[in-house]
Structure formats: structure tokens, C-alpha cells
A and B are shown apart, each in its own frame.
Chain A
Amino acid sequence: MSEMVKQNKIEGILAEFPDPAALISAAEKMRDAGYKKFDCHSPFPIHGMDKAMGLKRSPLGWIVGSAALFGTSAALGLQWWTSTVDYRLVISGKPFFSFQAYVPVTFALGVLLSAFAALIAMLVLNGLPRLHHPIFYSDRFAKSSDDGFFISIEGDDPKFDIEKTKAFLESIGGTNSEILKET
């Protein structure tokens, strides 16, 4: 294998772990060893993994909150402008700006924009959609969406070193470790 290594850029190392508990304790050891660009892959989210990996809370709430604020104010603005400025009609003697009647549409558009923001911002924060990723060079990785638990380390992590990192992953319980490179 090592002849091939010279030809293609090494993108990272992938190692497999037996179950969620092993993955979470390995993540803690990775964090404590000072690795930064590593990720823990599992078929479902594992409770407590953010803390084990030392990750900060997702900023998604702020993004969606801003979208909601924008959606509601745009909706209220639209209703105010159309019925008091651009198209004034007296309907059942109600005031032009009958804000009580504008609540349902304001709420609905706030929700609509938030829903789009939640999905789109989640994808953008995750760097998706993405057609390819070096991790898919691995054949074993297909298991990660089935019943496999993996840790990947990217080649540009400051602490990355093929031999040492690989040995470290094996020392914390990783098996079937493989080097990710174009084949």
C-alpha cells in the first residue's frame, strides 16, 4: 500500500469502532490528545457526543431566529403597505390597518421563512450539498449509515502524522484503520 501513498495525496485516516460507547470514549481521547479536524460518524446521533468531541453549540438557532424576524416583519409590512397605502379599501367598516386580522398571515410567513432557513442553513453549515468527499474513498465507510461507527481525521489537521495518528487510533480501540486517498 505504501507505494501508492506516494502517488496520491493523503486525505486522512479512518478507523472503525464497535459501538456508540467505544466511539464516545475514543472521541474524548482524540479531543484530549489535541486533534482538531476529526469527526465521529454514526448511523444516528449519539447523545453526549458534542461534549466528548469538544464541539460548540450550533449557531443555527440565531440564523433561524433572524429569518423568523425577517419573515414576520416582511409579512406585516406587506399587509400594512397594501391595505393602507397602495390599495385602500374599506371592508366591513374596519380600519385600514386592522392588525388583529393580519396575525395569521404574519405568523404563517414567519414560519415559512424559518422552515426554509432551518433546512438551508443546516445544509450550508454542514458544507452540503456536496458531490464528493475523500471519506467516500473508503469501502468500509458505507457501513456508517448502517451499523458502523467510525472516526475520521483529516490530513490537514496540525497533529496529523500517518504513522503516529494511525497508531493512536488503534491504541484507543480503532480497528480496520485505513488511509483515505484517491484510488
Chain B
Amino acid sequence: MSKGITDSGIIPGGEAPLIEKNPTFGSITEEISRITERKTPGVWYLALGAAVSLMFVLFGSIGYLVFEGVGIWGLNNPVGWGWAIINFVWWVGIGHAGTLISAILFLLRQRWRTSINRFAEAMTLFAVSCALIFPAIHVGRIWVVYWMFPVPNQMSMWPNFRSPLLWDVFAVSTYFTASLLFWYTGLIPDLATFRDRAKTKIRKIVFGFLSLGWRGGNRQWKHYELAYLILAGISTPLVLSVHSVVSTDFAISILPGWHTTIFPPYFVAGAIFSGFAMVVTLTIIARKLFHLEHIITVSHLEKMNKIMLLTGMMVGYAYSMEFFIAWYSGNIYEQFVFINRAFGQYAWAYWIMISCNVLIPQMFWFKKLRRSIPVMFIASILINVGMWFERFVIVVTSLAQDFLPSSWDYYSPTIWDISTFVGSFGLFFTLFLLFIRFLPMISMSEVKGVLPQADPHHAGGDRHE
């Protein structure tokens, strides 16, 4: 069935193929299903062991936090928001790339997204899971965390819907739920493939149950495709709104350095920037480990690098615009905060941020660097380091030196701040390893749909344009 493509793999139309090595429908099924069907590789157990150990560091830190209180963190006056909020914003931001790939690129009919969307959506779910932990545990008295939800209670209290912190609760939990439903909808046809290939009784039962009886008839595809389109359509404004709402946690306050209208678009651009960096980091490892280089090609990675270049410059624009507005507003507190950011006691963090987020992505102007795996791997990690420091700079510099010099202080984390953050990687990688072991990490039905032979006009050779 793969006839119709020339031997060089170039479609007669001119563009390079999205998927290389002339795959057939069957070879796509085989290659992606095989990853989960073969014997578990030893290295997977090693990786899972490491990830689970780290995850227990997270749970241990949370346990001690609940037992002892938020005093175990480096928080104090004037810095009442520390690593917990930084980590929250950082993890939520990482999640944004998954939704951008699955929803926005779908609406824009970017067919190259099919190779990476499942993977990126899974990353979204796991990153948002990590993110949700931090606001939940930083409330201190975690046993009354349900006060954040509009639950009728014996005190006749209701949440204050005018607070951006409450908007966060709704925005991020909706984001997680909608992403989960979107992800599951996308998984149904592939779960049916797993069901049909299942050899063992357990796989037959589990995938038979999860695929819900999917038959792949066009009467089902008709509703399915519209549901997918609608989910993409509602996820698109949702993803833009989530980080906007997160930014209002800062922007609605009156603190210099936080109280600016540029925050929502600036945060969204930064979120997409860091999210794509994380997708690149993870896909480089996964495509190498599972020999998927012809499905997730260098061209896919190059396209993501271009998005990083674009969003990196948006972030750079926001950094300079903040300085400009601080000067142009004539507000001395605002001016002080920004000069202090760049040259004050946290200047080291500021310049890490600038180097990683503004300077590093500039390499991607050059095609050679943009297509080099080692270069983009290192760059993608540095970008996420930079994006973590961006949140650190925003949160800490504005708080540590506020209006009153007598209350100024230098904030540093304690071992528990660090262990909670490092532990959250354990949770992230545990979930990720379970995902790549048991579920199709590339959307088989969507990849088949972008193969040249999937076009009904293709097989007969009469491509009417």
C-alpha cells in the first residue's frame, strides 16, 4: 500500500514527507505497539526505581511539611512566597506546550503535530499534576484545603470569587481535567488497536475495557472527529487563559514588578517557551531509546526549535518592555525594583535568566544548530533552567526588597524547599515511565491519517489538486 511514494521518500508534490522510511499503516501499528508489548527492558526498571525513589523524597517532604508546617521552608517576612509558587508556575508553564501542540496546532492544521502530540499531552498531564501539588501544600493547613472549593459547609462560608488565587484553583483544575479528557479521547482508537493485538488475558481485559468497544466505523468517526475538534477548540482559549490567570496572582497585587498589564501575554509566551523546551528534552531521549527517529524526525524537532526561538524573543521583549515601562511610568518604586533586579543582590539570578532565555535561543537562527541534536538538547535544558529562574526573579526580587527598607531581607531556600522540588521530578518521571511502558506514546491513528496513502485520492494516482 505504500506504493505511490518515490524511492527517495519524497512525495511527488514536493514537500519532504512527515514520516520517513516509507512506512505502511501496518508498520506504524507494529513499531508503536511493540514498545509496550515486548518484554520490559531492564533499563526501564532502573529508571523507574530511580524515579520512584525521588518520588518518595517528595512524599517524605510533604509529610514533614504537613507535620511541622510551612516554617520548614525558607519563607519569612518579607518573602512569604518562595519556591512553592515558583515551582507551581514553572510546572504549569511546562504543561502548556502539550496543549498548544494538541489543540492549537490541530486547529491550525499543522499535520506534523501528529508525531508528538500524544507524548506532549502526556507531559502536560504529568507536569500539571506536579504543579497542583504546590498550591495545595503551601496553604499550610492542608486539611482545610477544601475551603478553596465552593463546598457548602457548617460555617456558611463561601470562597471569595474576587481573588485571583481562587481563579487559579478553577483555571488549573479545569485545565487538568480538560487535558485529561482530551488525551483520553485521542487514546480511544489506539487503545482499540492494543485490544485487537492483545495476546494475554490481562491485556485483552484492560484494553477491551479502556477502549470502550470502539469499532472504528465511520458512523463513530463522524462523532469522534467533531468531539476532537470541539475539545481542541475549547482547549485553545483555555490554555491561553490558564497562564493568564496564573499571572494575575501577581499582576492583581500592587507590588512593584508584579503590577503590570504585560503579565498575561508574557506569562503565556514564557509557558509555551519552557513547555516546548521540555518536549524537546524528552522526545530526544525517547526517540533515541525506542528507535523512533523516522516518526519523530529532525524536522519535527526543528519546528519546535523555531517555536522556541519565537517565544524566547517574546519573553525577551517582555523583559525589556518591563524596564521601559518602569522608566517611562516615572514611578520610583517600579524603577528601583527593575534596577535592583539587574544589579542588586539577586543579579546572579537575573543574568542566568537573561542568558538562558534570551541569548541561548538565538542560536536557533542558524539552520545547522537548529537541526543539531546535541545543541538542541543542551539548549532545551538550559531554557528550562532559565525559565525556573525567571519565576524566581519575579517572585523573590519583588518581595525581598519592597517599599520599606527596614524590612528588606535576603531569601534563601532550606533543604526542604529543595527536596520538595527535586522530589517533584520523581513524580513526573514515574508517571512518564509508566506512560511510555503501557500506552501508545505516539498516536497511531493520527500518524496513519497523515501518511500519503491515507488520502483517498492518492491510491489511484490521480491527485486532483
The interface of chain A, by Cβ under 8 A from chain B, is 18-24, 27, 39-50, 53, 55, 57-58, 60-61, 64, 68, 78-79, 82-83, 86-87, 89, 91-92, 94, 98, 101-102, 104-105, 107-109, 111-112, 114-116, 118-119, 121-123, 125-126, 128-133, 135, 141-147, 152
Contact = CB atoms under 8 A, between A and B. Distances in A.
B181 A152 contact: no
A121 B181 CA distance: 12
Nearest to B238: A111
10 smallest beta-carbon distances between A and B, as pairs:
A147-B25, A39-B217, A122-B227, A130-B213, A82-B158, A129-B212, A142-B196, A104-B167, A44-B449, A45-B221
Contacts of B215: 39, 41, 133, 135, 144
Contacts of B213: 128-133
Q: Is the interface of A mostly helix, strand, loop or mixed?
A: helix
Given A21-B457, A55-B218, A108-B241, 15 more contacts: A39-B220, A41-B216, A43-B193, A43-B216, A45-B445, A49-B221, A50-B218, A82-B150, A108-B174, A115-B231, A118-B227, A129-B212, A142-B196, A144-B215, A147-B1
A87 B158 contact: yes
Contacts of A104: 164, 167, 170-171, 241, 245, 248
Contact of A20 (B226, B227, B455): B455
Interface residues of B, number: 70
B218 A39 contact: yes
Interface of B: 1, 24-26, 29, 150, 156-164, 166-167, 170-171, 174, 177-178, 181-182, 184-185, 189, 192-193, 195-197, 212-227, 230-231, 234-235, 237-238, 241, 245, 248, 444-446, 448-449, 453-460
Which of B177, B217, B225 has the most A CB atoms < 10 Å from its CB?
B217
A119 B156 contact: no
A49 B156 contact: no
Contacts of A135: 215
A112 to B, nearest CB: 4
Contact of B223 (A39, A42, A125, A129): A125
B185 A83 contact: no
Contact of B25 (A40, A83, A146): A146
Contact of B226 (A61, A89, A101, A111): A61
B311 to A, nearest CB: 23
Nearest to B114: A44
B290 to A, nearest CB: 19
B216 A111 contact: no
B150 A78 contact: yes
5 contacts: A60-B230, A83-B161, A101-B162, A111-B235, A129-B212
Which of B222, B225, B238 has the most A CB atoms < 10 Å from its CB?
B222
Contacts of A55: 218-219, 222
B182 A115 contact: yes
Contacts of B237: 107, 111
Contacts of A39: 215, 217-220
A58 B226 contact: yes
Which of A126, A142, A143 has the most B CB atoms < 10 Å from its CB?
A126
Contact of A119 (B166, B181, B193): B181
